[in-house]
Structure 1
Amino acid sequence: MQIELKIFRYNPETDSESRFDTYKVEAQPTDRVLDSLMHVYRNEDGSLAFRKSCAHGVCGSDAMRINGRERLACKTLIKDVAEADGDSILIEPLRHLPVQKDLMVDQSEFLARFKKISPYLIPVDKAPESGEYIQSQLQRDAIDDATKCINCGACYSACPVLEINPDFLGPAALVHATRFIFDSRDTGLDERIAVLDQPNGIWACDNHFECTKVCPRGIKITKLINMTKREIKKRKGE
């Protein structure tokens, strides 16, 4: 089948405004959108900029908006976004992040917010005599969902709160906070509360569930955020 890729183009170094360029590509329904983007780059326009790495939905580098929804180009099949011959697929960069070029966005602020919540284990001062921090299966299950995050930025782009409050920490950072707060080996809740318990922190989340809907790893992001809200209230005695 032949599809039409309508791709966002913008280079802040040379362009005064953005535009959309259209490319006609032959593709199979089971091809990935990433395959079509690579065809355009290799055969039609080598100036097209986008990120990719593993191409297997693990690294998260090729997150973008496809037909108005945040997806990974490597996990999105043509048949998921185009039904008939000649259908058009709209491809845009993630929202709430500055465009570096075309479909590439600057993740500096996204990662800076991620770092604010201390996204690493803060263990007890003294390690067990065995040298290992043992967890039961139930303790592991408590954090399993949150460990699946690949920092692709899809949830950050889809979040309606960031449209009205650009200073919101964002769902990805909050997921990683949950991952460590509920880790039985971690003692960093009080340290993280200083960042989370703020108007632009965890309380800015209004439970729109858009982050959960677009997560390519199927993480129940809104549920995890609400778990952390309850834990903070519990710690504060509310």
Structure 2
Amino acid sequence: MTSDKQPRGGGSESPYITATFRIRRFNPEISDEATWQDFRIEIDPKERVLDGLHKIKWDVDGSLTFRRSCAHGICGSDAMRINGKNRLACKALIKDINPEKPITIEPLKALTVLKDLVVDMEPFFQAYRDVMPFLITSGNEPTRERLQSPEDRERFDDTTKCILCAACTSSCPVFWNDGQYFGPAAIVNAHRFIFDSRDEAAEQRLEILNGQDGVWRCRTIFNCTEVCPRGIEITNAIREVKRALITRRV
């Protein structure tokens, strides 16, 4: 549907369309039940879903609540379900989501909703902390940087790309059914250090992930890999951790 809004720059045809954002709203101070609310806005289809959310919050309903920070796909804070798929709102273009139909926006699944599109990320970050996502070494502090060959660096290069957006973990059916499962993101961040030639705590992390809530819960459904905004081969990383547990070689 083409809007009646006048074009900018004197063109003969307006670049704007009228899009409907159907947003799942929840405010625990008002009701224990979530509801859906439609917002019709004028927007350039080349803009992002995040831009649409900004228009709604700034111009229509200031109570709409969501997280965002860098708006460039780096911080991961604006992960949400858009038309049933986990995405970053700052990377999802309106034109790529069929704006002729309502664009449904809801919070990530399996994490407690605090308000509107904001979920409680603490369980997610606790799983991340539990896998010890930092370099562990012994001996005296070195007087120069710890050297590493390009080949050794490449071994874990893919899993350094994680931005902790939780898109992968909240897309996992195992995590939906049992929030105690570490989840793909925690395993990915463990992988990043397990296979780092400079680190000395691979065995500790493998033992952590060998428990009942660790890698063996993964059913290789590939949801995590499909939704990762950074293109990480998450399922492959989980497979490599499983193999390391079996062979005890990294």
TM-score range, shorter chain: over 0.9
1:27 and 2:27 correspond: no
TM-score (norm 2): 0.90
Distance in 2 separating the partners of 1:202 and 1:151: 18
Identity between Structure 1 and Structure 2 (%): 48
The residue correspondences of 1:34-183 to structure 2 (distance < 5 A) are 34-84=50-100, 87-128=101-142, 130-183=143-196
What letter is aligned with 1:33? V
Q: In structure 2, what is the equivalent of residue 199 of structure 1?
A: 212
Q: Name the CA distance, whole Å, in 2 between partners of 1:108 and 1:135.
A: 34
Q: CA deviation at 1:165?
A: 2.5
Deviation at 1:198, TM superposition (A): 0.9
Q: Is the 8 A contact 1:6 1:89 kept in 2?
A: yes
**Counterpart of 1:168 in structure 2: which amino acid?**
Y
Q: CA deviation at 1:125?
A: 2.4
Report the CA distance between 1:127 and its aligned residue: 4.6
| TM-score, normalization by structure 1 | 0.95
Q: Displacement of 1:195 after TM fit?
A: 1.3
- Contact 2:20/2:99 (CA < 8 Å) preserved in 1? no
Any idea what SS the aligned residue of 2:41 has?
strand
* Equivalent pair of 1:124/1:185 in contact (CA under 8 Å): no
Number of residue equivalences: 233
**Could you tell me how far apart the structure 1 residues matched to 2:221 and 2:158 are?**
19
Amino acid at match of 1:3: A
Q: Radius of gyration: which is bigger?
A: 2
In the TM superposition, what is the alpha-carbon distance from 1:9 to its structure 2 partner?
0.3
Kindly indicate whether the alpha-carbon contact (under 8 Å) linking 1:62 and 1:73 is maintained by their aligned counterparts in 2. Answer: yes
Superposed CA deviations along residues 128-183 of structure 1, whole A, max 9, x for unmatched, are 5x521111111111111100000001001100111222211100000000000000
Aligned residue number for residue 13 of structure 1: 29
Q: Which aligned segments of 4 or more residues in structure 1 are displaced greater than 6 angstroms?
A: none
In structure 2, how many angstroms separate the alpha carbons of the residues matched to 1:83 and 1:37?
14
Q: Distance in 1 between matches of 2:83 and 2:173?
A: 17
